Amino acid sequence: MNVICIGSGYVGSVTAAAFSAAGNHTTVIDVDRHKVDCINGGRSPIYEPGLDLLIQDKAGTLLKATDTYHDVHTADVVFICVGTPSLADGTADLSYVKAAARSIGEHLNAERFTVIVNKSTVPVGTSALVARIIEETSGLKAEEQFAVISNPEFLREGFAIEDLFYPDRIVIGTTNLRARETMKVLYRPFVEKLYHDEEMMRRLPISANKNEHKTVYFETDAKSAELIKYASNAFLAVKISYINEIARLSEALGSNVTDIARGMGLDSRIGEKFLQVSSGWSGSCFPKDTGELLATSQKYGKELTIVKAAVESNQQMNQFCINKIQNKLKSLNGSTIGILGLTFKPDTDDARQTQAMTIIKNLLQFGVRVRVHDPKGMYMFQRLHSELPIDYCNDAEDTADRANALVLLTHWKEYRQLDWNRIYHTMKSPYILDTRNFLPATALREMGFDYEGIGIG
Ligand code: NAD
Ligand code: UGA
């Protein structure tokens, strides 16, 4: 098929690469010329394990990028993958989606039935909205000459390739039978695992145990599909907020949250995933998606009090971490604190809306000198927060230099293998707060560190 992905960010670039790998002629459209040049040059515009490999392999043959919408004319399926950030009132900013819809409308082909897919995370009713915009700009009739459907994306950054090729479910939201037929054909290789380039698949970062993996292809109406996405993200956020609250209680009671999470997760109804403590969930998705869902529920007089509580609880988690540091150092003013991890999780360069941002801003208000490091996220963090007076360090060891405290916010695996002995001798006071209970606690304590995790009494 001729597939188009509008937006070459964390969703669009991976989606386009995956569809090209499945044998479709795929065009990425982005207004950002730098990203377009990256893809055409065979490079990934973002850091995502395995994506460079895939783009390098397909660029120039089945995959290309452009900053014009001309190819929409020949498309069978057009995926909208642009950003939907939060507005000040918490609702989703649909301006990028609307702009993309107008541009699609200007180039749609009256002779060809095109399926336009909302892959961006959008509020309920956006499929209908996009259809109206396209009708206005193209003069064509929705459902007859084109269809707008919902196909939310569930990939996780850092595992996007695996999630694209081996999704748990593919949700298709439309009652238009022609669109359903097109989507079924397009997704068939992903459901039946019919990837003709086996050699390439072997080189991608996909866990070995995928042979038995089952992907469920699930069809519903557009509104339900749109809400499935928000309901899923909010549910995961609730789960993390819950374990983080249990962590706070556990610490007060003298029990061990890592064991508690394990003991809970062994119940298959609960499951072990998303019970990892942290300084709170963050990133470009959970905060904005819980915000939008909550705002919509309030607008309709059906407030999701559980989601509201999860958001509040998450904010308390930041404060809980700051309090721990404050209790330890007594006075924050004039102290130096090293921060390990600026991204919202490991294996991504995405530094949008991270816990690090909140915690660093807080520490600066207390008069702390902040030194930071992240293996992949420094560039984006610095670009987003150029006003923050913090020291960007070349490596983690440097971050600890003469620090009164070292705080691990993101559990990059390389942080486990640091020269901890050297760090011990360079720190002013060897206090570590490990907000992910990730570092080798016993070994660090034996070295002389004052090591604290979260939720371990
Ligand atoms: P992103 O900011 O990384 O990428 C969006 C891209 O769209 C940018 O490159 C931007 O230049 C481009 N763009 C904006 N307006 C455009 C236009 N009119 N025409 C062409 N290109 C345009 O965003 P993202 O993280 O990929 O997220 C995209 C959507 O997918 C959001 O709604 C998000 O909630 C959802 N989502 C994201 C993830 C994730 O892990 N990041 C996962 C699932 C769903
Ligand atoms: C999340 C969802 O997991 C994806 O299914 C969804 O597609 C995506 O949002 C989206 O809509 O954008 P992602 O944001 O990449 O994916 O990251 P997660 O792995 O879900 O982590 C989100 C945040 O929760 C991170 O800050 C992470 O560190 C934190 N987290 C996660 C915990 O604190 N504990 C956990 O056990 C798991």
CA–CA separation, 268 vs 248, rounded Å? 24
Q: What is the CATH number of domain 236-452?
A: 3.40.50.720
Ligand 1-lining residues (CB < 6 angstroms) = 6-12, 29-32, 35, 81-84, 96, 99-100, 120-121, 153, 155, 157, 284-285
How confident is the model at residue 455, as a pLDDT? 98
Measure the CA–CA gap between 243 and 100, rounded to whole angstroms. Answer: 39
Q: Ligand 1 center to residue 188 CA distance, Å? A: 25
Which of 84, 69, 71 is CA-nearest to residue 31?
69
CA of 240 to the centre of ligand 2 (A): 9
Going by CA atoms, what residue is nearest to atom 37 of ligand 2? Answer: 274
Which of these is catalytic: 5, 38, 81, 285? 285
Contact at 8 Å (CB) between 193 and 159? no
CATH number of 2-219: 3.40.50.720
- At residue 209, the pLDDT reads 76
Q: Which residues face 147 on adjacent strands?
A: 115
Q: Report the candidate in 143, 144, 71, 67 with the shortest Cα–Cα distance to residue 107.
A: 71
Residues of the chain with CATH 3.40.50.720: 2-219, 236-452
Q: For residue 200, what pLDDT is reported? A: 87
8 A C-beta contact, residue 324 and residue 433: yes
**How many angstroms is it from 254 CA to the middle of ligand 1?**
44
Taking a C-beta distance cutoff of 8 angstroms, is the pair 310, 241 a contact? yes
The pLDDT profile of the chain, 457 residues, written as one tens digit per residue, is 999 999 999 999 999 999 999 999 999 999 999 999 999 999 999 999 999 999 999 999 999 999 999 999 999 999 999 999 999 999 999 999 999 999 999 999 999 999 999 999 999 999 999 999 999 999 999 999 999 999 999 999 999 999 999 999 999 999 999 999 999 999 999 999 887 778 888 899 998 777 789 999 999 999 999 999 999 999 999 999 999 999 999 999 999 999 999 999 999 999 999 999 999 999 999 999 999 999 999 999 999 999 999 999 999 999 999 999 999 999 999 999 999 999 999 999 999 999 999 999 999 999 999 999 999 999 999 999 999 999 999 999 999 999 999 999 999 999 999 999 999 999 999 999 999 999 999 999 999 999 999 999 8
pLDDT for position 172: 99
Q: Look up 393 and say whether it is catalytic.
A: no
| Residue 69 CB–ligand 2 contact under 6 Å | no
Instruction: Specify the DSSP class assigned to residue 428.
Output: S
Q: Which atom of ligand 2 is nearest to the CA of 436?
A: 33
Amino acid at 77: V
pLDDT value at residue 199: 86
Select from 79, 60, 68, 71 the least CA-distant residue to 19. 79
pLDDT of residue 194: 86
> Which atom from ligand 2 is nearest to the alpha carbon of 155?
7
- Confidence (pLDDT) at 211: 76
Which residue is it, tokens 């038995």?
Answer: 212
d(CA 160, CA 10): 8
Task: Evaluate whether 226 touches 122 at the Cβ level (below 8 Å).
Answer: yes
Strand extents, DSSP E, 221-364: 336-340
Sign of the four-CA dihedral 288, 290, 296, 301:
negative
Distance CA 365, CA 360 (A): 9
pLDDT of residue 296: 97
First vs last Cα of the chain: how many Å apart?
A: 57
Distance 162 CA to ligand 2 centre (A): 15
Separation of alpha carbons 124 and 92, rounded Å: 11
pLDDT for residue 457:
85
CB 283 within 8 A of CB 352: yes
